[in-house]
Structure 1
């Protein structure tokens, strides 16, 4: 099976490298291109056997499974490029959340899926969200998820929950990293501990907490209960966080959803010429 990638920017390159490093794919199975072709060439220099294509059309014609790792604004041009190089047997996987399954099914005859990866896939961890169009068969789903399982936990979600699922799994690492950053900055400012030591402690804590919440059998609520003692230091810290932070998360979700809906409208305007108010 040949797997193609249109787009080798941040997330496209993460997927390619993770698939190779995990053993899910050999470099010889991969053909890739990018608008700035030198980015794809650098991957080929690192992974001998990886083929660099000179056009979107070439990648599409050579691939059995094609990942579209591009920005929403680039979809119209890319779909125009590949439309005559694909047929009903081709598997097309978009990693761009505002581009809906129905958008792609209207414009291409292929089997369409959407996969939302995470930067955590770079270390062969975290989730990938899997959303399937009606043309994807059970066998197609098994093939894709077997490949993704080498780098992540593939989780099927409904497209209506794409945004919130992405907030939790894909945007979440950035949100959690921001929390860790601010925790470290406060620790340094208030106590004089070195930034290096505080960062190491907080990072190891984050790793261990993730394990407790996945393989350790704890839920977020039960973990808090296990660590804190009524009237103790942890309980007092949790009280402050409940008071000061609770509303932030509601605002965060409202904001990401509003931005997502705006992006979906822009995609439809670009692909179908609809009016955006």
Structure 2
């Protein structure tokens, strides 16, 4: 199997390295194309055998599986670049949530999947969100699940729920890192504890909590009950935290969904055919 990654920004590079480190792909199976060639060449230097193409068309020419790891505004130009080599048996994977599967199917003859990764996939953790086109058969779906199982837990969702699922899975690390940072800053400001010590303690706590929550008999509510004694210090602190954060995540979700609606509209507009003055290289 030959795999092409178009775009080596944060997520394109993350996925490429994660698959290579996990042994799910060998460097000789992978070809990269990037607007910033130096990023692709840096990956190739770390993984001998990995190929860097001169342009998008060359990268996709012999690929069975083509990952589009570019911004929504770049999708149309990239698709126009690679359309000459797209066939019904090739699989296009978009990792960009505002790009609809239905819209892609109107442009390309290939099979289409939308898979949303998370930054924590870089350490072999977290979920990846799977949405499949009806064009994919059972073998295609099994291939993608097997590939991503090497770095994550694949979870199939309804495309209409991609925003909230992304908030929980892909954006969630930033939300909880923000809250953890506030916890650390408050500890330092209120007590004078050494910042490095506070950071170590807080990060180890979060890691341990995550591992406990993977156990079948430990839900978020269960974990709170295990730590909190009625009438105790933790119970009093949880009551204060409840008052301070009341409806905070409802407002967060309202914000992400409003922005996502705007992004969907922009993405649909950007995927309309473009007039082009001449041949393109990279996206």
Report the counterpart of residue 239 of structure 1 in structure 2: 239
1:146-202: per-residue Cα shift (whole Å, max 9, x none)? 010000001101101100000000000000100110000000000001110001001
Q: Counterparts of 2:138 and 2:115 in 1: how far apart (Å)?
A: 16
**Structure 2: gaps (5+ residues):** 274-283
Question: Residue 145 in 1 paired to residue 145 in 2?
Answer: yes
Equivalent position SS for 2:135: coil
Alignment of 1:142-221 (within 5 A): 142-215=142-215, 217-221=217-221
Work out the CA distance in 2 between the residues paired with 1:230 and 1:25.
Answer: 51
Partner deviation per Cα, 1:46-85 (whole Å, 9 max, x = no partner) = 1000000111111111210011001111111101111111
Deviates more, 1:182-191 or 1:58-67: 58-67
In structure 2, C-alpha distance between the alignment counterparts of 1:11 and 1:197, rounded to whole Å? 31
Alignment of 1:50-199 (within 5 A): 50-199=50-199
Q: CA separation in 1, counterparts of 2:113 and 2:216?
A: 32
Q: 1:3 aligns to what? A: 3
Q: Does 1:21 align with 2:21?
A: yes
Q: Which has the higher contact order (CA 8 A, sep 6+)?
A: 2
Q: Check conservation: 2:19, 2:150, Cα contact below 8 A.
A: yes
- Which position in structure 1 is the counterpart of 2:269? 269
How far did 1:272 drift?
A: 2.5
- Rounded Cα–Cα distance in structure 2 between residues aligned with 1:132 and 1:175: 28
Structure 2 residue aligned with 1:226 = 226
Could you tell me how far apart the structure 2 residues matched to 1:182 and 1:71 are? 31
Q: Spell out structure 1 runs of 4+ moving beyond 2 A.
A: none
1: CA distance, partners of 2:228 / 2:269: 51
CA distance in 1, matches of 2:116, 2:217: 26
Residues in 2 aligned to 1:82 and 1:93: alpha-carbon distance in whole angstroms: 13
**Given the two structures, how large is their TM-score scaled by the length of structure 2?**
0.95
* Separation (CA, whole Å) in 2 of partners of 1:249 and 1:186: 21
Q: Is the Cα contact below 8 Å between 2:76 and 2:272 reproduced in 1? A: no
Structure 1: runs of 5+ lacking an equivalent? none
SS in 2 for 1:25: coil
What is the TM-score with the length of structure 1 in the denominator?
0.97
RMSD: 0.9
Q: Distance in 2 between matches of 1:206 and 1:105?
A: 41
Classify the secondary structure of the residue corresponding to 1:35. Answer: coil
